[in-house]
Amino acid sequence: MLEARFESPLASLAAPTDTYVSMREIAERGMIDLRGSAGDRKFMAAAKSALGVDLPKQPRTTATWGDVRVFWLSPDQWLITCPRAKAQEMADQLSKDLAGIHSLAVNVSDMRAIIRLEGEGVREVVMKGSAIDLTHGDYPPGTVRRMRFAEIAALLHVVEDNVIDIYVFRSFAQYTWDFLRKAARKGSEVRVFPKAG
Amino acid sequence: MLVVTCPVCGVQGEEADFHYGGQAHVRRPATSDPVNITDEEQRDYLFIRHNPKGLHFERWRCDRGCGKWFHAARDTVTLEFKAYYGITELPPVELQQQAKGPWADYFKSVAKAK
């Protein structure tokens, strides 16, 4: 019998050497889409018992517990990232704990690709594709938001000051990779932006 | 290009990050009386929109952000946003008082119903 096997959309690509920030795909993270009402105490408590951490209620923030990270996406939607091997088990656990509560937890690990940018100037590289001001104090490490990036829908996660993860739908992975590679090409540094903070 | 702020997730972005959802606070005649609706009323509800010079109440969606709908009051002359408020809410009282046309009637009738 054939078994479904995960293949990373960017596996065949080598890490570029001609960019001024480093780029690589993160294929080992799993993702769970969680929906429910932040105002529902039962839901919040059940989610906490399954995840080990309170769902963040503040817009655009993240919460971390061990290797589990929860992203706030909207008042009734969260994205949970965890090691890929644990995702299905965790989604099942969530569904079990949330039984009877109006909510939804789905393993969407194969839905998106994650590209990690690292190095001095990552914020500038991302700004080449979007209209948001990443040098603003609104974007400290831990910030997460969805945005329009290079004309497509993307999710931005500021991991550290100089580390940014971009989540895009899988079918856009190659496009995003090519865009970033071009935007980050050595010699194309802008250097007019102040440091974040 | 307009710069819009989402009252739900708080992000500020350019117009293309959002989606314009048309005139706000349009009353659906069939809601209050599903039986006796005239063709004219239904036509006006579906197709006739108010297009004032000045204060305009409208709906927006935080399209590439949190995905939620919200309301905004905007001046169509200066393009200045006067207020943002929730999708189930009414505009601030001072803007309700400045409202003209169908909005003035709408806000008055809602206040009366309360």
Q: Are A82 and A32 in contact (CB under 8 A)?
A: yes
At residue A197, the pLDDT reads 44
**In chain B, which residue's Cα lies nearest the Cα of A61?**
B9
Residue A38 domain boundaries: 29-107
Cα separations in angstroms, A32 against A68, A69, A139, A140, B67: 11, 10, 24, 24, 18
**CA atoms of B55 and B86, how far apart (whole Å):** 18
Q: Which residues of chain A have pLDDT under 50?
A: 197
Residue A196 counted as domain residue:
no
This prediction's pTM: 0.90
The CATH number of the domain holding residue A81 is 3.30.70.1520
**pLDDT band for position B32 (50/70/90)?**
confident
**Could you please report the per-residue DSSP string of A77-111?**
EEEEEEEHHHHHHHHHHHHHHTTTSS-EEEE-TTT
Residues A83 and A141 in one domain: no
Residue A9 counted as domain residue:
no
**ipTM of the assembly?**
0.86
Strand arrangement, sheet containing B55-61: B19-23, B55-61, B69-75, B81-86
Beta strands of chain A (E only): which ranges? 22-26, 29-35, 62-65, 68-74, 77-83, 104-107, 112-118, 144-149, 152-160, 163-169
Instruction: Mark which of A72, A107, A142 sits at the end of a domain.
Output: A107
Q: Are A47 and A37 in contact (CB under 8 A)?
A: no
Structure tokens at A153: 């829908």
Residue A190 counted as domain residue:
no
Instruction: Mark which of A66, A86, A107 sits at the end of a domain.
Output: A107
Residues A103 and A53 in one domain: yes
Residues A38 and A72 in one domain: yes
**CA atoms of B49 and A26, how far apart (whole Å):** 49
Residues A123 and A169 in one domain: yes
Cα separations in angstroms, B7 against A167, B2, B3, B68, B104: 24, 16, 13, 9, 23
**pLDDT band for position B37 (50/70/90)?**
very high
Tokens 């497509």 -> residue: A152
Instruction: Mark which of A85, A107, A129 sits at the end of a domain.
Output: A107
Contacts of B11 in chain A (CB under 8 A): 59-60, 132, 145
Residues A117 and A55 in one domain: no
Residues A92 and A134 in one domain: no
At residue A3, the pLDDT reads 81
**CA atoms of B68 and B18, how far apart (whole Å):** 10
Structure tokens at A7: 């293949």
Average pLDDT over residues B7-13: 92
- Please give the tally of structural domains in chain A: 2
Give which of B17, B19, B62, B66 to mutate to test A binding, by max A Cβ within 10 Å. B66
Give which of A35, A132, A149, A152 to mutate to test B binding, by max B Cβ within 10 Å. A132
Closest Cβ–Cβ partner in A60, A74, A148 for B17: A148
Residues A73 and A103 in one domain: yes
Q: Are B73 and B95 in contact (CB under 8 A)?
A: yes
| Contact assignment for A145 to B67 by CB distance below 8 Å | no
Closest Cβ–Cβ partner in A59, A75, A153 for B64: A153
Residues A116 and A141 in one domain: yes
User: How are beta strands B19-23 and A68-74 bridged, if at all?
Assistant: unpaired
Average pLDDT over residues B3-11: 94
Res B114 pLDDT > 60: yes
- Annotated domain spans of chain B: 3-113
**CA atoms of B103 and A91, how far apart (whole Å):** 47
Assigned architecture for domain B3-113: 2-Layer Sandwich (3.30)
Residues A120 and A57 in one domain: no
Average pLDDT over residues B12-16: 90
The CATH number of the domain holding residue A145 is 3.30.1360.120
Residue A129 counted as domain residue:
yes
At residue A136, the pLDDT reads 83
User: What are the b/e assignments for B43-66, b being 16+ CB within 10 Å?
Assistant: eeeeeeeeeeeebbbbbbbbbbbb
Residue type, A24: R
Average pLDDT over residues B22-30: 94
Residues A47 and A95 in one domain: yes
At residue A195, the pLDDT reads 61
Contacts of A145 in chain B (CB under 8 A): 9, 11, 65
Residue A14 counted as domain residue:
no
Residues A85 and A135 in one domain: no
**pLDDT band for position B18 (50/70/90)?**
very high
**In chain A, which residue's Cα lies nearest the Cα of B69?**
A74
At residue A138, the pLDDT reads 87
Give the tens place of pLDDT for each residue, B39-93: 999 999 999 999 999 999 999 999 999 999 999 999 999 999 999 999 999 999 9
User: Over chain B, what is the mean pLDDT?
Assistant: 94
Residues A48 and A63 in one domain: yes
Calculate the CA A51 to chain-centre distance: 17
